[in-house]
Structure 1
Amino acid sequence: MSDDSLITSLSAAIEARPDDLRLRLHLGGLLVEAGRTQEAIAHAAQVLARDAGNVEAQALMQRALSPAPPSEASGGFGAADDDPLSALDRELSQVLPPRFAAAPDDVAGARSDDRMFEVESSTVRLADVGGMTDVKERLELAFLGPLRNPELRRLFGMSLRGGLMLYGPPGCGKTFLARAIAGEMGAKFLSVSIVDVLDMWLGNSERNLHELFQTARRNSPCVLFLDEVDALGLKRSKILSSGLRNVGNQLLAELDGVDANNDGLFVLAATNTPWDVDPALRRPGRLDRMVLVLPPDAPARAAILQLHLRDRPIAGIDLPKIVAATDDFSGADLAHLCKSAAEYAMADSLRTGEVRMIEQRDFDRALRQVRPSTGSWFATARNVATFANDGGVYDDLVAYLKRRKLL
């Protein structure tokens, strides 16, 4: 039996018997020999999570973390199968562009004669999103409920078209949540940013925006995600450029479906500054529902930390302590915290010459350096909630600030 077949068989056996530590260690050794060190580290970490003092698991972790000796066949500069110009390209890649540009791969939903827009099939589900119970309930009422119940939808005269705006501090998972909605629906996913739309030539920006909507319509049911929608739909009173004003008008026309049918097109938008978005975008039939996406709560923080530590070598981590110390941390802040702790452990390993795992002391040190990035957002949001909550648009934000005694 080949090594790959044996690894596949052992992996299947471990799925059936996840607590068989001897089997995990055997598989980990085979993975290291096959050069699949990241998978070996993950299995060693699983063993150490169940038996922190397991000597064999620690030795396996040490083997997986140790750099492999360079292979003569791999060839550096001057290898037999490498031409001198290619080697020179690599050597000067930081200061000179490559001689030849690679052709783009074919992408679903692309225009054959012009730009290419990537339409994805999302595999993320709402169950993969930690916490956010209130947000999930709002999304169930706005999108998922009508989609799953066509009879009720017809009875109550509901349409499959609609728009919703996600807002909140940066780094709190608005884009991930949009992908989860598309995956939950079984719909395609098309993400739009300002670089996909804006063009220096007059009229091209409006055409790009129209083509993006047309691509989404051709792939319906489709979730069209407008990231940083304030950049495309800024308040017209703040716009000095006629070009940006025309882009805003085109966006309004596309949301209304003036020249096309928007059934099966679900428009989700995200912004950190909803107060800068043109009010016309929030009229009924457009982005008429707003959902506040807040920093993760304690269960969500625990899930996020476990995700970012899953494939890293850890030992003796006090997860409840870290969760309690990371109030107001965004998902991005938590990822940065894990990376910082890993950097401290790696730096210590380099200094001592002995590889060690990430420990609680590394997180204690990282927590002294990493601070939540949401503070400045809440400072601005507090002023908006106090003085600009016209029509109760930000009632959810006001309620949250009052619960946290920030208002």
Structure 2
Amino acid sequence: MSDAEPLIISLQGAVAAMPQDRSLRLHLAELLVEGNRPHDALPHITHLLGADPADQHALALLARVTNLLVGTAPAAKTEAASPGPAERSPGVDAFDWSAAEAEVRDLAPPMFIDGSSDGPDEPDVVERPQVRLADVGGMQQVKDRLEAAFLAPMRNPELRRLYGKSLRGGLLLYGPPGCGKTFLARAVAGELGAAFFTVSLADVLDIYIGASERNLADIFRTVRANTPCVLFLDEVDALAQKRSQVRGSAMRGTVNQLLTELDDVLGSNDGVFVLAATNAPWDVDPAVRRPGRLDRMLLVLPPDASAREAILRYHLRDRPLSGIDLAKIVRRTDGFSGADLAHLCESAAEKALLDSVRSGEIRMIDQRDIDRALKEVQPSTGAWLQEARNVAQFSNASGDYDDLVAYLRRR
């Protein structure tokens, strides 16, 4: 055992206990390099460079490690004489960086790229949906609101300039779960021919102080680089919870950062359409819904009769059917969400499949299977409507939920 080995073992334990301590990790990496252990030192060096790519000490150690790995330098410090001029090949560098990078390619990214890749210019997380509003069954009132808020100004640039209509905008979609809010947002992106970028709390939240705010800023930077783009904030009540209900400072800082990005004091949000969805708009911080941010609210209700028929046809289209009374099913599924209707079709198919397995004879899905499934599948919107009724009755002084009040009265 070398004289430095006990110290290396001690430092390894300290680094394991305090992985974010850069000085400990740097000292350990230096000892491992001095001890001719480049493979052990390299993970620590790449960890340091991952946190700070400009760390000069880590870069110097990386150069020494690559020397050791490719065999172009002595394994340890020696006082070997420098080669004379005759021993050097003319016009050849003393160190082959290409060979060194190839050796450590799996552990460290290349220092330089030439930008000649033929890959897409936009990141993989940005998608371009092919669906259109015509693919959304029913919901004509919702489509009309979307047309006025986003689509008409985009399609008519001359009128937009005449009326001073900005391409900025924020729209909050709210309603029971499973009613197609995400699908509608994708359809808007498809109508605009725009990129679609979806964000949830998991994409933003981080355990380190300040990291969540940085993640959110990076998301908006990516979106602005891919305009026109629809930014979809899924379950925005989790991402922008009322600050009066937040105990810790981490989520409060995230909400503040979201407000800053939506305001965009530099004016670079043109061409960025912000759509957000929530089942609980009453839990969203009021500052997020003030004019200039998510200033318009759109109620997305359980599908109406025409929408239910379109959804049922879609989910039954590739299944073997016989004697299905679609009009009867539509009448009996009032209040079902789109997800409920998909579950209904799946349950009916399961019943026909089990009968075929038991009898040994393949049969079609018929009306009996649908009727049996209807006895088991109940609409999932009831709990939401009950909570929404309380909000509509006691928390609608501002008139934000007038559409909801009108719907509840019709029911």
For the criterion TM > 0.5, the same-fold answer is yes
Q: Please report the RMSD computed on the Cα atoms of aligned residues, expressed in angstroms.
A: 1.1
Match of 1:174 in 2: 181
Match of 1:245 in 2: 252
Match of 2:327 in 1: 320
State whether residues 107 and 118 of structure 1, in contact with CA within 8 Å, keep that contact through their aligned partners in structure 2.
no
Q: Determine whether 1:109 maps to 2:122.
A: yes
Distance in 2 between the 1:348 and 1:209 partners?
52
Percent sequence identity is 70
Q: Deviations over 1:316-373 (max 9, x none)?
A: 1110111110000000000000000000000111111111111110000000000000
Match of 1:311 in 2: 318
Letter in 2 for 1:179: R
Match of 1:123 in 2: 130
Taking the TM superposition and a 5 Å limit, the aligned residue runs for 1:251-270 are 251-259=258-266, 261-270=268-277
Letter in 2 for 1:289: R
Distance in 1 between the 2:299 and 2:269 partners?
25
Q: Deviations over 1:172-198 (max 9, x none)?
A: 000000000000011110011111111
Distance in 2 between the 1:290 and 1:364 partners?
37
Q: Deviations over 1:290-326 (max 9, x none)?
A: 0000000001100000000011111111101111100
State whether residues 189 and 224 of structure 1, in contact with CA within 8 Å, keep that contact through their aligned partners in structure 2.
yes
Match of 2:403 in 1: 396
Which 4+ residue blocks in structure 1 deviate beyond 2 angstroms? 106-110
In structure 2, the CA distance between the partners of 1:399 and 1:147, relative to structure 1 (3 Å rule), is same
Q: Determine whether 1:184 maps to 2:191.
A: yes
Letter in 2 for 1:109: E
In structure 2, the CA distance between the partners of 1:300 and 1:108, relative to structure 1 (3 Å rule), is farther
Q: Deviations over 1:105-133 (max 9, x none)?
A: x88633xxxxxx61011101000000111
State whether residues 108 and 119 of structure 1, in contact with CA within 8 Å, keep that contact through their aligned partners in structure 2.
no
Counterpart of 1:280 (choices 258, 273, 287) is 287
Match of 1:357 in 2: 364
Q: Determine whether 1:382 maps to 2:397.
A: no
Distance in 2 between the 1:260 and 1:205 partners?
23
Q: Determine whether 1:162 maps to 2:175.
A: no
- Larger RCO, structures 1/2 (Cα 8 Å, 6+ apart): 1
Q: Deviations over 1:133-180 (max 9, x none)?
A: 111111111111111111111111111011000000000000000000
Q: Deviations over 1:27-54 (max 9, x none)?
A: xxxxxxxxxxxxxxxxxxxxxxxxxxxx
SS of residue in 1 equivalent to 2:232? strand
SS of residue in 2 equivalent to 1:390? coil
Distance in 2 between the 1:108 and 1:371 partners?
46
Taking the TM superposition and a 5 Å limit, the aligned residue runs for 1:201-216 are 201-216=208-223
> Which has the larger displacement, 202-211 or 258-267?
258-267
Taking the TM superposition and a 5 Å limit, the aligned residue runs for 1:61-140 are 109-110=122-123, 118-140=125-147
Letter in 1 for 2:140: T
Letter in 2 for 1:208: N
In structure 2, the CA distance between the partners of 1:108 and 1:178, relative to structure 1 (3 Å rule), is farther
SS of residue in 1 equivalent to 2:365? coil
Distance in 1 between the 2:296 and 2:369 partners?
43
Match of 1:199 in 2: 206
Q: Deviations over 1:229-253 (max 9, x none)?
A: 0001000110011100000000000
SS of residue in 2 equivalent to 1:286? coil
Letter in 1 for 2:303: P
In structure 2, the CA distance between the partners of 1:262 and 1:298, relative to structure 1 (3 Å rule), is same
SS of residue in 1 equivalent to 2:398? helix
Match of 2:102 in 1: none
Letter in 1 for 2:325: D
Q: TM-score, normalised by structure 1?
A: 0.71
Deviation at 1:393, TM superposition (A): 0.3
Deviation at 1:258, TM superposition (A): 2.6
- Structure 1: stretches of 5+ with no match in the other structure: 1-105, 111-116
Distance in 2 between the 1:250 and 1:204 partners?
11
Deviation at 1:259, TM superposition (A): 4.6
How many residues align? The count is: 293
Distance in 1 between the 2:284 and 2:326 partners?
39
Match of 1:148 in 2: 155
- Structure 2: stretches of 5+ with no match in the other structure: 1-118
Letter in 1 for 2:152: G
Distance in 2 between the 1:234 and 1:175 partners?
20
Q: TM-score, normalised by structure 2?
A: 0.70
Deviation at 1:260, TM superposition (A): 5.6
Distance in 2 between the 1:280 and 1:294 partners?
25
